[in-house]
């Protein structure tokens, strides 16, 4: 029975049913009883495998088709009337053609199936940040994941009232045919259509499709920002709290940074990190002139491989109940899950992510095809499971940002950390970000590509206009956060990571926050402000870069060094990207920053010089 009298919702559901022609329509009210019944049904049909109730209560494993394991950027379209509005950063399709194509593919595809109607909210219902979506889908897996990742149920329809507007999402699994897979966005119609996939990033329409692609477009028009950012809170020994948002590309450690456990001596002093979000931030101007952020999601859709007690204790803990695992391995000895990096010992009896018995003797960590879990296997875990979830997680007004951090995977050139000279320079740094590709999207991994603000796959409009929107936001806030760039991934000549990362990133966070309060020194370099090695706390740091080579202050000096020649090349590269990829919509402010970078590098040509006073 319909759960609302909102005529627009009823019309959307009716139209979707006419298209998909399901046997049955079920409205998701979000009640524990309904969700439990759906889990039972999915276990019966084999869509989910129930895991060990003692060790992993209320946890399930799902396997996707082998052709459907990641986001598909080349099949993801922004469908605007004017092609230029989608920008060179997106694949574009004419909206009329896109609707026709989607209708043709989806027509009758739900015959014999149930269509579920999921009313959900991105953000806490009742918050001025929150926005409501309705997703219709023929997948129980989608319903159950959406129920973890968003706030689902009747309260969302109540918030809409009789004629409130919402984001329409239509998902049909069809035959999971990769050649007919389309993830289409119609920002001018607040509509998303996804066909022929059942992988999270393509089908949990509240996440990338709504909370980033559609929301970034809404944010540009309404004066706010939707960003691919984690949000974390740092509590100081005296109880004071500061908040930071950080944009790293997919599978580059946002979840790890958001949940980090500081080194022992910080814990002993009373420092604490709390997680507000691990993937998406919606950011608005506050009346106090600062930027305020919320995490519109309600759970974590995290990358499983590499997650273990040491790398991310809090994420692992978050997966211990009420979690859906996708494409990890099944340990048949105790009906639990396993993935590469979970433990050093390999389990003896596993079924791999494709459903076949796995032979640990054949495992070679350099050969992905021998892995038990898919490199982009995931856990969908409720945020409330997380031991370090912030008390502000459910806050309606969000948290004020002291700093914004950009970062990518760069084996060389980019130092461990540096600070922008001002907001516009920070926007330039974000716009010029590049990073090595990961398994989160289909295609080759490890290829360096431009990924401005980690939003390359998620900006729902022209990237040049997106940069201009960032510049404008800076003009409107009187007390903007300071902007930084980090690179945890600098390598030595043999390819070993030079910085330990994980919990030790706290040492860099501390410098960043001190800079925000004018309490730390820095050196002015051609690219911005860089700490001196002595400004980063190395107390008790114990890291082996490679066998027999322990991390020492000289290594820190090396990864803080700015090589002006390399940066001149980088500047040329950025210029090429601006000219060839974004073309004529790059704001003048960014051209000016590029010019300054070039001039600075040409003037120096070796590591820099001038020391700034902490109070200047």
| Residues in contact with ligand OXD by the rule CB under 6 A | 71, 201, 250, 279, 301, 440
- Closest CB to ligand OXD among 194 and 600? 194
Least Cα distance to 134 among 144, 122, 124 occurs for 122
Locus of tokens 């919606």? 282
**How many helices and strands, by DSSP H and E, does the chain display?**
17, 34
The alpha carbon torsion through 379, 383, 388, 392 (nearest 10 deg) reads 150
Which partner in Mn ion, ligand OXD, none is near 210 (CB below 5 to 8 A by kind)? none
Which partner in ligand OXD, Mn ion, none is near 322 (CB below 5 to 8 A by kind)? none
Minimum gap (Å) between residue 457 Cβ and Mn ion? 9
Q: Is 252 a catalytic residue?
A: yes
Minimum gap (Å) between residue 212 Cβ and Mn ion? 8
Minimum gap (Å) between residue 299 Cβ and Mn ion? 13
- Closest CB to ligand OXD among 6 and 377? 377
Task: Kindly list the residues in this chain that would bind Mn ion in the complex (CB under 5 A).
Answer: 250, 279
Distance from C-alpha of 180 to C-alpha of 1, rounded to nearest angstrom = 32
Q: What are phi and psi of 188, to 5 degrees?
A: -75, -15
Minimum gap (Å) between residue 393 Cβ and ligand OXD? 18
Minimum gap (Å) between residue 232 Cβ and Mn ion? 15
Minimum gap (Å) between residue 486 Cβ and Mn ion? 17
Distance from C-alpha of 229 to C-alpha of 71, rounded to nearest angstrom = 18
Distance from C-alpha of 185 to C-alpha of 337, rounded to nearest angstrom = 35
- Closest CB to ligand OXD among 201 and 233? 201
Which partner in ligand OXD, Mn ion, none is near 301 (CB below 5 to 8 A by kind)? ligand OXD
Lookup: tokens for 105: 């593919």
Minimum gap (Å) between residue 141 Cβ and ligand OXD? 15
- Closest CB to Mn ion among 4 and 150? 150
- Closest CB to ligand OXD among 27 and 406? 406
Minimum gap (Å) between residue 42 Cβ and Mn ion? 25
Distance from C-alpha of 346 to C-alpha of 331, rounded to nearest angstrom = 10
Tell me the residue number closest to ligand OXD, measured at CB.
250
Which partner in Mn ion, ligand OXD, none is near 138 (CB below 5 to 8 A by kind)? none
Q: What does the DSSP assignment read for 192-258?
A: EEEES--SHHHH-TIIIIIIIIIHHHHHHHHT-EEES-EEEEEE-TTS-EEEEEEE--TTSSHHHHH
Distance from C-alpha of 396 to C-alpha of 566, rounded to nearest angstrom = 45
Locus of tokens 């230029």? 84
Which partner in Mn ion, ligand OXD, none is near 201 (CB below 5 to 8 A by kind)? ligand OXD
Minimum gap (Å) between residue 194 Cβ and ligand OXD? 15
Least Cα distance to 71 among 91, 87, 85 occurs for 91
Locus of tokens 């704001």? 587
Which partner in Mn ion, ligand OXD, none is near 135 (CB below 5 to 8 A by kind)? none
CA angle (228 as vertex; 393, 573 as ends), nearest 5: 155
Do 350 and 338 contact (CB within 8 A), yes or no? Answer: yes
Catalytic residue among 252, 516, 593, 601: 252
Q: Which are the contacts of 415, defined by CB distance < 8 A and separation ≥ 6?
A: 487, 490, 527, 530, 559, 560, 561, 562
Distance from C-alpha of 508 to C-alpha of 504, rounded to nearest angstrom = 8
- Closest CB to Mn ion among 113 and 185? 185
Do 408 and 248 contact (CB within 8 A), yes or no? Answer: yes
Q: What does the DSSP assignment read for 48-102?
A: SEE--TTTSTT-EEE---TT-SSB-GGGEEE--SSHHHH-TTSEE--HHHHHHHH
- Closest CB to Mn ion among 207 and 462? 207
Q: Which are the contacts of 189, defined by CB distance < 8 A and separation ≥ 6?
A: 95, 168
- Closest CB to ligand OXD among 106 and 252? 252
**For the packed helices 7-20 and 95-106, what is the interaxial angle rounded to 10 degrees?**
60
- Closest CB to ligand OXD among 16 and 250? 250
| Distance set, CA 267 to CA 114, 139, 310, 414, 543 (Å) | 51, 44, 16, 29, 19
Helix extents (H) in 107-189: 140-149, 154-160
Minimum gap (Å) between residue 273 Cβ and ligand OXD? 20
- Closest CB to Mn ion among 260 and 560? 260
**Residues with catalytic annotation?**
252
């Amino acid at each position: 029975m319909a759960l609302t009298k909102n005529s627009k919702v009823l019309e959307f559901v009716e139209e979707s049913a006419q298209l998909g022609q399901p046997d049955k329509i079920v409205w998701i009210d979000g009640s524990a009883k309904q969700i439990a019944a759906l889990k039972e049904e999915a276990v019966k049909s084999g869509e989910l495998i129930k895991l060990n109730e003692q060790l992993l209560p209320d946890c399930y494993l799902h396997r996707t088709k082998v052709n459907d394991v990641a986001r598909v950027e080349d099949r993801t379209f922004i469908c605007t009337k004017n092609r230029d509005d989608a920008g060179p950063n997106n694949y574009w399709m004419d909206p009329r053609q896109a609707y026709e194509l989607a209708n043709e593919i989806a027509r009758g595809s739900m015959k014999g199936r149930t269509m579920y109607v999921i009313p959900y909210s991105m953000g806490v219902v009742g918050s001025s940040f929150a926005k409501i979506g309705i997703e219709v889908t023929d997948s129980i897996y989608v319903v159950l994941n959406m129920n973890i990742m968003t706030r689902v149920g009747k309260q969302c329809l109540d918030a809409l009232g009789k004629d409130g507007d919402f984001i329409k999402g239509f998902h049909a699994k069809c035959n999971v045919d990769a050649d007919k897979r389309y993830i289409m966005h119609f920002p001018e119609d607040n509509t998303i259509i996804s066909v022929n996939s059942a992988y999270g990033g393509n089908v949990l329409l509240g996440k990338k499709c709504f909370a980033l692609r559609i929301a970034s477009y809404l944010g540009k028009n309404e004066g706010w920002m939707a960003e691919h950012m984690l949000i974390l809170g740092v509590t100081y020994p005296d109880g004071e709290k500061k908040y930071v948002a950080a944009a790293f590309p997919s599978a580059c450690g946002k979840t790890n940074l958001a949940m980090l456990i500081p080194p022992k001596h910080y814990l002993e002093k009373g420092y604490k990190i709390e997680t507000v979000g691990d993937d998406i931030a919606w950011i608005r101007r506050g009346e106090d002139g600062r930027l305020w952020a919320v995490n519109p999601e309600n759970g974590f859709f995290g990358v499983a491989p590499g997650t273990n007690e040491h790398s991310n204790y809090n994420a692992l803990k978050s997966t211990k109940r009420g979690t859906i695992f996708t494409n990890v391995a099944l340990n048949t000895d105790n009906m639990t899950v396993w993935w590469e990096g979970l433990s050093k010992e390999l389990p003896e009896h596993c079924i791999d992510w494709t459903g076949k018995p796995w032979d640990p003797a054949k495992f070679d960590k350099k050969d992905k095809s021998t892995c038990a879990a898919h490199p982009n296997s995931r856990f969908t875990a409720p945020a409330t499971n997380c031991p370090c979830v912030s008390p502000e997680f459910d806050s309606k007004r969000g948290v004020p940002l002291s700093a914004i951090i950009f970062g990518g995977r760069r084996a060389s050139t980019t130092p461990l950390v540096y600070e922008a000279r001002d907001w516009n320079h920070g926007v330039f740094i974000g716009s010029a970000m590049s990073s090595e590709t990961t398994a989160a999207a289909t295609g080759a991994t490890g290829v360096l590509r431009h990924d401005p603000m980690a939003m390359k796959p998620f900006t729902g409009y022209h990237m040049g206009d997106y940069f201009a929107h960032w510049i404008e936001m800076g003009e409107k806030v009187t007390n903007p956060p300071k902007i930084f760039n980090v690179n945890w991934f600098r390598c030595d000549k043999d390819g070993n990571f030079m910085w330990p990362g994980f919990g030790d990133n706290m040492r860099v966070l501390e410098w960043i926050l001190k800079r925000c309060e004018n309490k730390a020194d820095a050196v002015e370099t051609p690219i911005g402000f860089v700490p001196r090695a002595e400004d980063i706390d190395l107390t008790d740091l114990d890291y082996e870069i490679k066998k027999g080579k322990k991390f020492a202050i000289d290594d820190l000096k090396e990864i803080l060094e700015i090589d002006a020649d390399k940066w001149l090349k980088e500047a040329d590269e950025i210029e090429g990207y601006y000219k060839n990829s974004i073309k004529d919509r790059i704001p003048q402010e960014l051209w000016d920053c590029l010019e300054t970078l070039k001039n600075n590098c040409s003037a120096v040509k070796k590591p820099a010089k001038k020391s700034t006073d902490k109070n200047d």
